[in-house]
Each structure stands twice: as C-alpha cells, then as structure tokens.
Amino acid sequence: MDRGLNNSRDDFPILDQQVNDEPLVYLDNAATTQKPMQVLNAIMHYYETDNANVHRGVHTLAERATESYEAARDKVAEFINAASRKSIIYTRSTTESLNWIAASFGNQVVREGDEIVISQLEHHSNIVPWQQVAQKQHAVLKYIDLTPDGQLDMDSARKQITDKTKIVSIAHAANVVGVVNPIKQLARLAHQHGAYMIADGAQAAPHMKVDVQDLDVDFYAFSGHKLLAPTGIGVLYGKEELLNAMAPAQFGGEMIDFVHHQTASWKQLPWKFEAGTPNISGAIALGSAIDYLNQLGMANIQAYEHELVAATLPRLLKIEGLTVYGPHDPNQHTGVIAFNLDGLHPHDLATGLDMEGIAVRAGHHCAQPLMTYLNVNATARASFYFYNTFEDADRLVSGIQAVKEFFADGIS
C-alpha cells in the first residue's frame, strides 16, 4: 500500500482503523481534515506545560503562552505572504471571518443603491452575510454565472462588476465543483471599478500556495480545521489600512486600550479585533499545522493531489449513470469531486460507500443556490488530501460500482 505524500499517512493515527469491517478511506477533507500527531502533541504540550492566558500575565507560564500564540501569528503571515503580522486576525473560522467583514466593513462602505457581487458557486457563509448587508443598506446583490462546465464565467463577471459595485466576494476554490477561481484577475477588475476584493480561502489555503500580496485581495479568510489544525480557529487577513479603518466586530477584554465611564478606545492591530480570551491552544496548533505543511511543501501537496484527481476523475466519468459536476478535465480540477448516481439519492450513495469503509459527504454542501443552479437537490462529494493514496482512489471507484450494483440488484 502506498503511504501518501512522503509517507505522511503514518502521522495520522485516525486513518489506521476499520469502519464497517473495512479499512477506512477518508474522503471528506473538504469538510474537515484529520490531524497529525505533531499538531495533537502541540495541543497537549500547551495544556501540560504552558496553560495560561495570553498578554495579561507577567508570570512565566503566561509569557510562554503569549510567545507561542504570537509566534503562530508570524507563521500565518509568512504562510500567506502578508506584508505585516498586524494584518493577521485570529477568528473562529472562515465563516466568522466573512461575517466580521460583512457586518463591520461591508456596512461601513455599502450604501443605498450600491452593488455587491458574488457568484453562483459560493458557500452559504459567503452568501448570507452579504444578503444581510444588502437588505440593511438597500443595496443590490448580484451573482456571477458559471460556464457550462462549472467554471466562473469571466464574461459574466465583467458584466456584473460595475462602477456601482462596492464589494466583490468570491471563493478562491469552490467547495462543490472543484475549480480554482481567477482571484487575481477578479481583484484587478474589482479595483478598476473602485470596489474591494474579498476571497474565501477555505478550500484553497490548505491545498496551494497563497500569496495575498500577489493576489492583491483586500481581505482573505480561511479555517484552521481544513488544514490540519483543530476546529475553532480561523484567520482573517486584511490590508492594514482597511483594518485600521474598520470597526471592531466584538467588544470586551483584551481589545481595549482604555475604558472611561462613557467611552472606550481600542488597542492597535491585530488585538483590536480579538476580544476576550482567545483560542490559545488552537492558534498554537495552527502554527504547528503550518510547520507541517511547509515541511511537505505546498507545491508538492498541490501536485500530488492533482495526480490523485487525474487517476480518479477519468475513471468516474466512465461509470454509466454517474454524473460528475464541474470540469471533466483533471487539469482544471482541485481534489474536490461532486457526483450523483442515477436513480439513487446522494445520502443512499454515501451510506452505501460508508458500508465499504469510504467516508464521503452527501447533501447540499452549504451551497443551496448552486444546487438550484445545477438543478439538483444534493450531491455526493469526495475530497482528497495529501495523506490519501492511489489505493484510496481505487477504493472510491470500486465502491461506487459496488453500490450501483447492490441497488440495481435490489431494484430488480
């Protein structure tokens, strides 16, 4: 059995188990990734040796905790090539990051009659917050259409983004149809019209090298749990001048400079946005996860995942009755593959695969407008990461065939 990229699979104990008497094939990485021992050990080390609140204490444990917490921020800044560590804000998730941008910055810059542009393939966390801004400010929410093979239609983008546009917010990589969107091109287009560019990086940051300065995005958001870190830790990147002008999203301890009886002032970036006791262990573990990814190399991860998709996608397309959504060219595809089998609900397909020990996601994937656009209620979705193997790909293909035959026999 091959062991994944650089034998990394050995670092993930959860993968070495039986599910329904079959070796586990974990293909739900777009929902959350598994955690290597190095990250789990970082969490345990913090709680066993350094557990204290950050920034507030002068005792040794507090100083060690603060040093590790802030060192992780430096790692994040380097990971996405931010110009300054002040541009890195810890949040709970991509969802919280996007909500903060919409509720604070969006409501500051969007006025009646202005336009907000998103696309048909967005996750709910990059739709609903902008719906709320549009409703509150009496603005117009517009959608960029897709090409027939599920890619972002740049002709549509050029029509939708106008001088009335104030916000363009697009997923860097799609969580259903498996495409990487031209964020740098979209940012250039948005800026030409005086709009701000926001990228949802939840499905991109774990799988490819992200350079926020090269992309020239105004804001970028991603989640730790999709790149080996624990749940409950996320990142909001923003250009420093925009974050300075942006009102805090939450108030309380840690983010204040001084509180008077009737007024208060805020700390400088990045702490201005980090009210209350933060997820200290999560931030430290995020730093450990970034160390792990850097050791493997993001270019190597992207290339290996492409090899897995190239070995899987053409074989899936040959299965009679199986519909694959998004591009059919592996060169235009991330490790996310969504599909349906004729005559079978995606939940039944996913349940059948689970009986074979294969974990995939089934449902609308928090992308109901896209499901409507595709004229389906739901899909099944397999998503690869670098610890998956070519044997996993084989098991997926054979598992779908087995489920298809099982239900065909049952119907007959």
Question: Which sequence positions are flagged as catalytic?
Answer: 366
Residue 207 CA to residue 301 CA, distance in Å, equals: 6
Residues present in the chain in total:
412
State the residue for tokens 């091959």: 2
Give one DSSP letter per residue of 181-200, joined into a string.
--HHHHHHHHHHTT-EEEEE
The DSSP line for 225-255 is GGGTSPTT-EEEEE-HHHHHHSPPS--STTS
- Indicate the Cα dihedral angle 310, 316, 360, 366, nearest 10°: 90
Summarize the chain as % helix, strand, coil (round to 5): 45, 20, 35
Tell me if 242 sits within 8 A of 219, measured CB to CB: yes
- Residues near 259 by Cβ (< 8 Å), separated by ≥ 6? none
Asked whether the beta carbons of 101 and 221 are under 8 A apart, the reply is yes
Which residues, listed in sequence order, are joined to residue 337 by a DSSP beta bridge? 382
List the end-to-end C-alpha distance of the chain, in Å, as a whole number. 36
CA distance 90 to 257: 19
Residue 365 near residue 338, CB atoms below 8 Å: yes
In angstroms, the Cα distances linking 40 to 37, 230, 245 are 5, 9, 37
Burial of residue 23, with CB atoms counted within 10 A of its CB: 0-12 exposed, 13-18 middle, 19 or more buried:
middle
Q: What is the CA radius of gyration of the chain?
A: 22
Q: Is 383 helix (H, G, I), strand (E, B) or coil?
A: strand
The torsion angle over the Cα atoms of residues 248, 220, 164 and 120, rounded to 10 degrees, is -120
Tokens of 214: 């090269």
